[in-house]
């Protein structure tokens, strides 16, 4: 099938690749660029496994065509290894047993980071509301909620993840 050239910025680096117009951003990341931290579950916007940041906003990369990312800034979990919020979440997910098979975990981490950076999270209700669009097929929600709440408390103490508008 005919391909088009796509140039976008991924995790701070400009990248150019050939894509088919029908390919989703998730496919471009995984298949064209072998960036497999972004998982694909439902492929129709229901599970959140494919969550990435585009121009600072969380999007479901299975719902966005790759060529629509032309000239935009994409952040995936691969680009957040030094991110202070992800560092805390990674630890609390481990401590609170928030990972079972791990399939949903990249999307959970991306969404939890966005939640902790942009909203005040002080209760289990806040976490459950903020993460309502993320599905864990292992049904490990209790551990995930505990982990995000623990991260919120720690980040509040250290201010590393305080919402910019606070």
Q: Which residues bind ligand FES (CB under 6 A)?
A: 40-43, 45-50, 60, 62, 99-104, 136-138, 140
Smallest distance from ligand FES to CB 30, Å: 11
In the numeric block, the tokens 């995936």 are attached to: 76
Say how far residue 75 (Cα) sits from the centre of its chain.
8
Q: Which is nearer to ligand FES, 22 or 137 (CB)?
A: 137
Name the minimum Å distance from CB 165 to ligand FES.
27
The residue among 27 and 83 lying less far from ligand FES, judged by its C-beta, is 27
Contacts of residue 96, defined as CB under 8 A and 6 or more positions apart, other chains included, come to 143, 144, 146, 147, 150
Structure tokens that stand for 145 in this block: 């909620």
Nearer CB in complex with ligand FES: 34/165: 34
d(CA 100, CA 143) in angstroms, rounded, equals 10
Q: Residue 3 is encoded by which pair of tokens?
A: 């391909």
- Between 4 and 42, CB nearer to ligand FES: 42
**The two three-digit tokens of residue 16, written as one number:** 């150019």
CB of 122 to ligand FES, least distance (A): 25
CB of 25 to ligand FES, least distance (A): 10
Closest to 84 measured CA to CA, from 164, 13, 154 = 154
């Amino acid at each position: 099938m005919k391909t088009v050239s796509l140039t976008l910025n991924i995790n701070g680096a400009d990248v150019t690749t050939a894509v088919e117009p029908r390919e989703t951003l998730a496919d471009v990341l995984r298949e064209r660029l072998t960036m497999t931290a972004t998982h694909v579950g439902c492929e129709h916007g229901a599970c959140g496994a494919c969550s990435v940041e585009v121009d600072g906003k969380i999007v479901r990369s299975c719902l966005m065509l790759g060529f629509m990312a032309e000239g935009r800034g994409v952040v995936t979990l691969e680009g957040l290894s030094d991110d202070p919020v992800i560092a805390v979440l990674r630890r609390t997910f481990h401590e609170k047993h928030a990972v079972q098979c791990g399939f949903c975990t990249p999307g959970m981490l991306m969404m939890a980071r966005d939640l902790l950076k942009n909203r005040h999270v002080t209760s289990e209700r806040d976490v459950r509301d903020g993460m309502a669009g993320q599905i864990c097929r292992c049904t490990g929600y209790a551990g995930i909620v505990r982990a995000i709440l623990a991260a919120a408390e720690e980040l509040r103490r250290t201010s590393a993840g305080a919402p910019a508008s606070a």
